[in-house]
Amino acid sequence: MKLFLLIFLILCNSKSLVALDTKSTHAIILDYETEDILFSKKENELTSPASMTKIMTAYIVFDRIKNGNLKLSDEFIISSKAYKMGGSRMFLEMNSKVTVMDLLYGIIVQSGNDASVAVAENISGTEEEFAKLMNTYANKFGMNNTNFVNSSGWPNSNHYSSMKDIAILSKNIIKNFPELYKIFEKKKFIYNNIRQPNRNPLLYSYEGADGLKTGYVNNAGFGIAATVDNNGRRIIVVVNGLKSARERKEEVTKLFDWAYRDTKQIVILNKGQILAKSDVWLGNKKTVNLISGEKLLTSLTLKQQQNIEAKLVYKKPINAPLEKNQEVGKVLIDIPNRQTIEIPLLAKDSIKKSNPLTRIFNALNYLIFGNIDEK
């Protein structure tokens, strides 16, 4: 049997019906809560993450703080290598002592390559050893298309990631360190009497934006891992391969606008929701309600919302005895452009076997008439 789910839709304007595209060479839009990929373009293809790498560097520092191995007030010594780093810097002085807090601001707000190297060396001894640690975390998160060789994102042909992997990393740092993550929304930081603004353009222009990290290298163009929390719904967008900082801002803004305008979180099933009633074979009750074993919350485009189909798969009649919440089948949810989702189909109540004489009577009655009378 098939169960068709009716979903009431808000009327949309013609703009909502235009297929989404982006000038980015690589892109992904991820719903934070449901983990649904709302849009993707070469999301698993290898590309240079540039300074988006620093999200992992910050993650490792956050993790050390959370488990008590580091304190924000701890001081790290700045090496000659860190001092001489080119590119974006927080202008650390060689042999100086700098707090972990200041180095985190330098990595996250100022995108300091010098701060990234300083952290790596003080945690692991060398940046090369720290990169091995970064890859250990990446493997743990299932970042299957990532290899780090440095802590800053400095160009290297063996240093790569993918949009999906960076989105996975972004979700983990937001989820696991809600307090420390707030550093990402800080708009400016002053160190060594030098004031530098956060390079994330959305912090100044998009309501609800609170992270994460921009990136740029010549061979990959302009990129960003960005996130917005709009009325409790968080979206993560990661893009790369844009031609300018201006184009990066325009494209990522467009992608967030589309995600919030043209997709919606839908509760397709609630846990315990009654979906059907089935005959019971030789039980002390003739029928049992069948319920959903899980809540199914998913994010869908308007087109997907209009084409959801659910099918209940179970053998009828169901044999007694039954335990409460015993699995008797599956709910199969089909959504366009998605793999079929399987949800356990459960018996709502326990049902015992009927006494022998009643079982004989009910069995004959069912075979002859196709239903079961209560006795």
Q: Which positions are catalytic?
A: 51, 54, 111
Other beta carbons within 10 angstroms of residue 345's beta carbon come to 21
Other beta carbons within 10 angstroms of residue 356's beta carbon come to 9
3-state secondary structure 87-111: CCCCCCCCCCEEEHHHHHHHHHCCC
Q: What is the DSSP letter of 4?
A: P
CA-to-CA distance for 61 and 58, rounded, in angstroms?
A: 5
The answer to whether 167 and 31 have CB atoms below 8 angstroms apart is: no
Q: Which residues, 6+ apart, have CB-to-CB distance to 368 below 8 Å?
A: none
Locate all alpha helices (DSSP H) within the chain, ordered by sequence: 54-66, 80-83, 100-108, 113-124, 127-141, 163-176, 245-262, 302-305, 356-369
Q: Which residues of 11-49 are buried (b: 16+ CB within 10 A; e: fewer)?
A: eeeeeeeeebebebbbbbbbbbebebbbbbbbbeeebbb
